[in-house]
Structure 1
């Protein structure tokens, strides 16, 4: 009996794991168009996903977000999910585009 319970718990964790992560895709163009500049297939709630070495994108597409996703401008005070997001969207899938004249450097999942 203990083996069966352990097997069931293990199976549930294996099948739940993909649902616990989100896919984040960065695009060169607005509205999640143009060249894909980066992909993160393992983003998790409570995590800031950001470009290293000063990269940015015009828009970020997402899927599998558990609650909400917040978008942060590129440059200075807003890098790495700091000092307030310019856009927050709900759970599931969608696309967030930076305001005119700006790019997105990071997103925070919650």
Structure 2
């Protein structure tokens, strides 16, 4: 890694409290089935975005996920109304802590 000047070092140096200049991205991908072995091609214009979920009022959206990442991630569909009991979180603590999100641990599926 080349040394950075003092201005760049503010943002790019690695350390205990610094992210550094190398970033990992977790990407959402769409697959043909629950084996998660054959990815569905997407248009190039989507870039890093995951699959687009399309629905109309009254439709039910069902998402099956498997986390291939090395840390837990969550999914939140913006613009979609759902009841608390539809979050997939079965723990009563989610009713007590409204900001708690559903996390998908590495190597786990949620269907």
**Does TM-score exceed 0.5, indicating one fold?**
no
Of structures 1 and 2, the larger Rg is shown by: 2
Normalized against structure 1, the TM-score is what? 0.40
Of structures 1 and 2, the one scoring higher in RCO (CA 8 A, sep 6+) is: 1
Q: More strand per residue: 1 or 2? A: 1
Normalized against structure 2, the TM-score is what? 0.40
Q: More helix per residue: 1 or 2? A: 1
